[in-house]
Amino acid sequence: MLEAEKITDAELEVLRALWASREPMTLGQIKSALARSQGWNENTTKTLLRRLCQKGAAGQEKREVYYYRPLVNRDQLERCRTQRLIDKLYAGSARDLVASLVRHDQLQPQDVEELRVMFQTMWNGKEGE
């Protein structure tokens, strides 16, 4: 079972490296991918991978060395984390989240227009069902 709400920001960086690769990655490949942005050593990377495997977000396969792959995609994790934020800060109300963004000038006119088109497209699709 995925414990998405317990994935730390550091673990998320490891997942991003795994998502960026189309193939399973070795510890060395992951460490190299993260070295540019994080500068973590091998032990830190290994610890983060172990935690991701324990949380059900990554899997490992033993070949000549261990290969790691994501078991959760970006959309699944985003959905879980967004719902947790909505539940935690807005008592489960997505409308209150959006209202907060509007009240605090977090949405630009272009954002509002893109959301309007997205909603309209979504609603039109459901009318035909």
Q: Please tell me the predicted confidence (pLDDT) of residue 5.
A: 64
Task: Enter the pTM of the model.
Answer: 0.75
Model confidence pLDDT, tens digit, residues 40-92: 888 899 999 999 999 999 999 999 999 999 999 999 899 888 998 899 999 99
Banded model confidence at residue 123, pLDDT cuts 50, 70, 90? confident
Rounded distance between C-alpha atoms, residue 17 and residue 23, angstroms = 11
3-class secondary structure, 106: coil
Residues 6+ apart with CB under 8 A from 9: none
Q: What are phi and psi of 93, to 5 degrees?
A: -100, 105
Question: What's the Rg (C-alpha) of the chain?
Answer: 19
**CA 57 distance to own-chain centroid:** 10
User: Do the beta carbons of residue 58 and residue 69 sit within 8 Å?
Assistant: yes
Q: Please tell me the predicted confidence (pLDDT) of residue 72.
A: 92
3-class secondary structure, 120: helix
Q: Please tell me the predicted confidence (pLDDT) of residue 1.
A: 52
Rounded distance between C-alpha atoms, residue 86 and residue 92, angstroms = 5
What is the DSSP annotation of 13-30? HHHHHHHH-SS-EEHHHH
Banded model confidence at residue 37, pLDDT cuts 50, 70, 90? confident
